[in-house]
Amino acid sequence: MELSAPDGSITAKFVSLGATLTELWVKDKFGKARDVVLGYDNNTLLLTDPIHPVFNAIVGRYANRIKGGTFSIPITKDPQPPGPNVYQIPINDPSRESATLHGGIKGWDCRNWTIVAQTPTSVTYRHIDDADEGFPGNVTAYATHAVFSGGILRSSVYATATQKTPIMLTQHVYWNLDAFQDGSANILNHKLTLDASRTIAVDGNQVPTGRFLNVEGTPFDFRHESRINKYQDNSGNLCGSGCKGYDNAWVYDLKDHIVHPGTSLYSELSGIRLDIMTNQPSVQVYTPIDVLIPRKVVHGGPNIDYGSWSAVAIEQQGYLDAINTPEWNVDQIHYPGRDFEWSTEYRFCTLL
């Protein structure tokens, strides 16, 4: 499915598997269009590739990690199955053996969504989650993607549940604003800005401890525009054992960022700047990407792999594993009468 803005400033392509963004073309400072998201030329690999990096899909029913793959309703600290109202979800995190990642073995990114509405500039997909992966109840979700003049992509998800269940979604987009042109092979010189003075403290398995860390004076401080490779100035591990770079969640200072950007990304090489607005309270930033799969042809493939630091994943979402962190008083349980809404807007411009 291809969507193009009336002024030709942005073109986006999607497939039904995961309501996934497969291409996103925006213009650089020279007026040339670049595809600024990673992916495949053969989109059937979204389903069959064993690496499965979750390229640009809608992720659910619960994004990011769930400690031990367990939770309870109402939520409690360290629920132990079996027990009343305690649920066990398959553990599938490839790097951490004690967590469920991005909804389980076959999350929403691996499910076929159905097109229910479309225009030249928008498409709406529907997915019905029939208690998949052991989550309680059924969830019906509608994901709408739309492009607008001025270089804008807007994505939103509206979901309803038949009984009490956790819902926390994201759109897992991998960005490279240079699109591997002009000799660029990675995103280490991209500049990142986050309106966030705190990160969520995590343990060695990347699940929350319940504390928040102040970013001031640390490599996590992106309140002012900074290069992504600033982590190299830190001798310790920022994202767990064996992980170099960022795989961390920041809490936005504002309650929402519908009008003002919560996150901005900029490349001097292409001149492309991305500003992200969202109704979500947190953002996960993931940089230690090492996907040894062929690049798209437009990215210089297929004889070259994407490789290390090839992109930065920026995921607008709720608080990480809040369903196991009751001390936060963050309610991620949804049910009839309490629907779920997620929205994010991506605005592109160029700086000379």
Rounded CA-CA distance 156/70 in Å is 27
State CA 203 to chain mean position distance. Answer: 21
Domain boundaries, the chain: 2-350
2-350: CATH, from 2.70.98.10, 3.40.190.10, 3.90.1330.10, 3.40.50.300: 2.70.98.10
Q: Percent of the chain having pLDDT more than 90?
A: 82
Contact present, 336 and 138 (Cβ < 8 Å)? no
pLDDT tens profile 47-98: 887 666 799 999 999 999 999 999 999 999 999 888 889 999 999 876 666 8
Rounded CA-CA distance 35/24 in Å is 5
Rounded CA-CA distance 1/271 in Å is 28
pLDDT tens profile 245-278: 899 999 999 988 999 999 999 999 999 999 999 9
Q: What is the pLDDT of residue 245?
A: 81
Mean pLDDT of the 98-126 span: 95
Q: What is the pTM of this model?
A: 0.95
Encode 93-125: b = buried (16+ Cβ within 10 Å), e = exposed: beebeebbbbbbeebbbbbebeeeeeeebebbb
- Residue length, the chain? 352
Mean pLDDT of the 315-331 span: 97
| Neighbouring C-beta atoms of residue 232, cutoff 10 Å | 12
3-state secondary structure of 228: helix
Rounded CA-CA distance 27/8 in Å is 9
Helices assigned H by DSSP within 129-183: none
